[in-house]
Amino acid sequence: MVTQLPEEYRQAPFDETCAPRRLLRLFSGKWTTMILHTLHLMGGGSRPGQLLRNIPGLSKKMMTQTLRELEQLELVEREVRQVMPPKVEYRLTKLGEVFIEPIEMLYTWGTLHEAELSQVAAASKALSRSALS
């Protein structure tokens, strides 16, 4: 189902401060949506090691950097449990739960349109090869 957008969002160019551009800017980081999606799938809290194991290619440095940014944006909260050794867990905040909806919609769309994504990936690969020639 396609929702009708207000008139100002059906025109180009979009103002730099408009909601669609702010949303895309928020999700433009390579690991942002994957971390939010993984935290959502894990339900409660997730320890950093769990995140690293569940997101192939994510380095510890990038995970830490992205989690800090998400924490500053109040999309993720960090909880330190005072046990020996201390345990750190991350979870989505109430605000993070709001922002997970469009991410989950994109992940679902991507799964349903895997063939089209493969077609675009093949065209992109061919374009890269021809640019090198």
Both tokens assigned to 42: 């894990």
Both tokens assigned to 83: 């046990």
**CATH number, domain containing residue 50:** 1.10.10.10
Residue 130 lies in a domain: no
Residue 124 lies in a domain: no
pLDDT-derived band of residue 127, with 50, 70 and 90 as boundaries?
Answer: confident
Q: How confident is the model at residue 10, as a pLDDT?
A: 63
Residue 89, Cβ density class (10 Å: 0-12 exposed, 13-18 middle, ≥19 buried) = middle
Confidence check: pLDDT of 2 > 70: no
| Stretch 123-129: mean pLDDT | 87
Number of domains, the chain? 1
What pTM value is reported for the model? 0.81
Q: How confident is the model at residue 8, as a pLDDT?
A: 64
Confidence check: pLDDT of 5 > 80: no
The residue assigned the tokens 């730099």 is: 16
Confidence check: pLDDT of 64 > 80: yes
